[in-house]
């Protein structure tokens, strides 16, 4: 009987999400509805929801989650203080004098903004407003230009500090604990958000290298699609000075934030607070700080926090109902039955996440898939760090895969006259490159595990 209600829960959950109803209420409401109906048939004990207040309290008091609004605040300040705009303009002129150079600048600036903000939306919008007009004037192929901007902006999901990595780290901590308890003290090392940041750094930079190589190949074999940028004499004469002045502030901020995390001096939350203060100082020094900038940045941080906390509470309800209906045993049996053992099980889950990325948001996939599938995978022997980074790269494709890729709509919203079909054509090669990133860490797991091991020693 319980297995049937698990199937009903899955169907109701999908319908609720596709209905356009707010995600947090769709997840929590569908779970409670199915739980109530299941209780009428004796398949669910409503007293199980008595554990919910404790779960909600632990979510609200989780200090790691404070890093999310702080990093969002930092990114919003950088976006509104024109630091991102100046960086894009100057780097574009630095690299844009050769075929494909403007595209290279977009990739590099995207990576720098990713390491400064950790927010995909802010990065894509900033680059769309500034870079796309410049690439159009230079005569760039429009699908190539739009695909570059979306892909470069989406690196904010994998290059730390990243809000997605923070949430994955929190979910994997819970999953790892559950795996240990289920096996009576299963000997798997505890992981934290800092560990996941460290593990994701090399794969994130590897994706940037893939993008750069693709741009170089395009410039070599089809330079007409990415011609050089024309500069006047005044721009050439002052270029070196402007590069130094625009590169130095974000680089200092990146070193402060990432350096404090990787060196172990500060936790992710503490470094996020440091980054927020640093972004405010840079805005003040650049004479861009105002009450409106501060208010808008604070509002962005608050909105993101409320959304994430609400979804986390909805996911906690889903987890309680799912476990009470015997879902953990069903998922464990399902993964055991997948051909190929642990390898087949991991491939199955990653493929499912990739497919869900066509219709669901990254946060929705994390909060639905990770609590259900991560504990059995860890019990089967999957490394939590590797699993987290592989999931992050697969989830990165959800920002680019049509029809609901968020980076696509961020860019379309920033540039009204851009056709969706143009962006769809442009992002497909970069989705392939991201999947190649997963293949690379699959073949060479040390790309993920090497840096955490070095820093641990």
Polymer length in residues for the chain: 457
Residue 416 contacts by C-beta under 8 Å, 6 or more apart in sequence?
none
pLDDT for the residue 441: 94
Rounded mean pLDDT of the chain? 81
Domain holding 147, by residue range, is: 2-456
27-48 pLDDT per residue, tens = 888 888 888 888 887 766 666 6
Measured in whole angstroms, the distance separating CA 107 from the mean position of its chain's CA atoms is 17
pLDDT for the residue 275: 84
- Give me the number of domains the chain comprises: 1
pLDDT for the residue 255: 83
> For the chain, which ranges sit under pLDDT 70?
1-3, 20, 43-50, 84-85, 96, 116-119, 122, 181-190, 230-238, 456-457
The Cβ-side half-sphere exposure at 274, using a 13 Å CA radius, reads 18
pLDDT for the residue 387: 92
CA dist 297 and 293 (Å) reads 6
What pTM did the predictor assign? Answer: 0.83
Q: Which of 131, 129, 150, 125 is nearest to 401 (CA)?
A: 150
pLDDT for the residue 187: 47
How far CA 453 is from CA of 161, 379, 457, in Å, comes to: 19, 22, 6
pLDDT for the residue 235: 60
Q: Looking only at Cα atoms, what is the longest distance across the chain? A: 80
């Amino acid at each position: 009987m319980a297995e049937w209600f698990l199937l009903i829960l899955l169907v109701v959950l999908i319908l609720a999400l596709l209905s356009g109803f707010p995600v947090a209420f769709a997840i929590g409401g569908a779970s409670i509805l199915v739980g109530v109906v299941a209780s009428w048939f004796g398949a669910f004990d409503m007293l199980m929801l008595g554990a919910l207040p404790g779960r909600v309290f632990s979510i609200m008091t989780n200090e790691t989650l404070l890093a999310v609004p702080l990093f969002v605040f930092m990114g919003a300040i950088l976006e509104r203080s024109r630091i991102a705009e100046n960086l894009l303009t100057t780097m574009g002129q630095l690299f844009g004098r050769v075929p494909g150079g403007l595209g290279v600048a977009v990739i590099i600036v995207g990576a720098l903004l990713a390491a400064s903000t950790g927010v995909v939306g802010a990065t894509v919008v900033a680059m769309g407003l500034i870079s796309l007009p410049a690439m159009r004037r230079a005569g760039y192929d429009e699908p190539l230009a739009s695909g570059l901007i979306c892909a470069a902006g989406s690196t904010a999901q994998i290059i730390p500090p990243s809000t997605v990595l923070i949430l994955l780290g929190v979910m994997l901590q819970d999953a790892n604990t559950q795996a240990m308890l289920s096996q009576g003290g299963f000997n798997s090392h505890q992981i934290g958000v800092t560990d996941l940041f460290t593990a994701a750094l090399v794969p994130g930079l590897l994706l940037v290298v893939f993008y750069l190589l693709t741009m170089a190949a395009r410039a070599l074999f089809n330079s007409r699609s990415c011609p050089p940028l024309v500069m006047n004499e005044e721009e050439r004469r002052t270029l070196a000075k402007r590069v130094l002045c625009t590169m130095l502030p974000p680089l200092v901020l990146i070193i402060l934030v990432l350096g404090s995390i990787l060196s172990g001096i500060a936790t992710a939350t503490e470094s996020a607070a440091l980054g927020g203060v640093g972004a405010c100082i840079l805005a003040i020094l650049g004479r861009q700080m105002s009450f409106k900038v501060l208010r808008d940045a604070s509002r962005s941080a608050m909105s993101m926090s409320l959304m994430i906390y609400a979804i986390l509470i909805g996911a906690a309800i889903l987890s309680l109902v799912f476990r009470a209906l015997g879902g953990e045993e069903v998922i464990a049996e399902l993964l055991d039955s997948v051909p190929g053992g642990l390898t087949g099980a991991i491939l199955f889950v990653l493929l499912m996440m990739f497919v869900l990325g066509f219709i669901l948001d990254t946060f929705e996939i994390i909060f639905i898939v990770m609590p259900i599938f991560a504990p059995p995978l860890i019990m089967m022997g999957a490394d939590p760090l590797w699993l987290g980074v592989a999931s992050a790269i697969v989830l990165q494709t959800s920002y680019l895969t049509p029809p609901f890729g968020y980076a696509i709509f961020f860019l379309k919203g920033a540039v009204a006259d851009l056709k969706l079909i143009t962006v769809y054509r442009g992002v497909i090669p970069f989705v392939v490159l991201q999947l190649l990133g997963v293949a690379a860490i699959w073949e060479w797991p040390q790309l993920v595990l090497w840096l955490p091991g070095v820093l641990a020693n």
